[in-house]
A and B are shown apart, each in its own frame.
Chain A
Amino acid sequence: MEINILEEFFNICDEPIFKCINCGVCSASCPISKFMELSPQKLIFYLVNNKKEVLEKNTIWLCASCLNCQARCRKDIDFSRVADALRHIYLREIARKKWLLELEIDKIKREILTKSPQQLFIALQRKFAYY
């Protein structure tokens, strides 16, 4: 499906990504960046250059919104909002019919599911669900 990712992005999010100077402080401060296919800084670079591959990378699903990068960013860009917006674009445009996308509840360990805080599970559904 042809989508103009930048246009879609600015429809729902006004994060000033064009101010990004690619210093990489976000990637360096991100505790999860080593598990990401594109580090936060690279993802913003791809997005600024209107590359819709950003939607295919696991980065947008891994950002846990801890805001470590936002607190460090010299240009006041909140990466968690960028990831949230891209997640929503994916869920709305591509995975419209799948409700819980990458999440297979059966695969979550039973002892985690029963012991974990409700808040965690609701947060997960909110991040991964289309609405």
Chain B
Amino acid sequence: MRYLYYPGCTLKTTGKVFDDSIKEVAKVLDIELKELTNWYCCQAIYTPLNDAPSLILGAMRNLIETQREDDKLVTACAACYNVLLRAQNSYFQDQLLKERVDAYLEEELRERIKIIHFFELLEEKVELLNSLIKKRNSFSLACYYGCLLTRPKGIALFSNDINPQRLENLFSKLGFNIIDFGFKTRCCGSYLTYTKEEAVKDCVEKIVLSIEEAAGNNNCQILTTCPLCQFNLENYQNKYQVFYFTQFLLSLIKGD
């Protein structure tokens, strides 16, 4: 299958490992990812205010660019996914907002673009994945979701925002032992890294504590879906190794 792919700024720079692993995993699974032409910043966060349509212009530009080629868009960065989804939602729900955005961009988004997270493509190919894995390691996995893919309720990728199970299901089908811990959707502290480091340290500490309690004596690794969580979890604790889920899959497929 061929899909349009929206990497976003982080995956092109500090999250390069994520981007590379996505591309390689896609390649072995026979998924062709074509980068969206002229992609543009998604504007990083979704801020809904009644008087400022400029707050979703970035996301809408990308979706309009998408509609020239396809009706689906694959993305993997949790923040981009969240912003694109919510911007599109408010664009179609709020007639006034739609008119103002259209007037500014001089082109309208005719139909909803189906925004797909790369994880959904993996889920469809779980059997193929299983047959490709060369070597399994003995680690148990703690899947940490964060906030961007689990909320707001109703439109987020993972519909259960307290105890999502889709990553767990995927990896238990691949034969891994799963650590089910309590704080898997708790905030990692996000950009407070810059302004209030102790808050992030506190958040990460609690997440790790929750994993520790659930893991007991098991050797454990943390899987993340989001570059922001990855950075905060990696930076503020050294008890567990943290990987992007695709990075982890790639290491299994390569067998190293």
Name A's B-contacting residues (CB within 8 A).
11-14, 31-32, 34-35, 61-62, 64-68, 70-71, 78, 81, 84-85, 88, 102-103, 108, 112-113, 115-124, 126-127, 131
Contacts and interface: CB of A to CB of B under 8 A. Distances in A.
Q: How large is the interface on B (under 10, 10 to 19, 20 to 34, 35 or more residues)?
A: 35 or more
Closest 5 CB pairs of A and B: A66-B187, A66-B147, A67-B151, A122-B44, A64-B190
Contacts of A127: 45, 47, 191
20 contacts: A11-B51, A12-B50, A12-B51, A13-B50, A31-B189, A64-B191, A65-B45, A66-B187, A67-B152, A68-B151, A71-B152, A84-B47, A84-B48, A115-B235, A117-B231, A118-B13, A118-B14, A121-B194, A126-B43, A131-B52
Contacts of A117: 10, 13-15, 227-228, 230-231
B186 A103 contact: no
A120 B231 contact: yes
Given A123-B191, A126-B43, A126-B45, A78 B152 contact: yes
Chain B, interface SS category: loop
Nearest to B156: A67
Contacts of A103: 194-195
B196 interface: yes
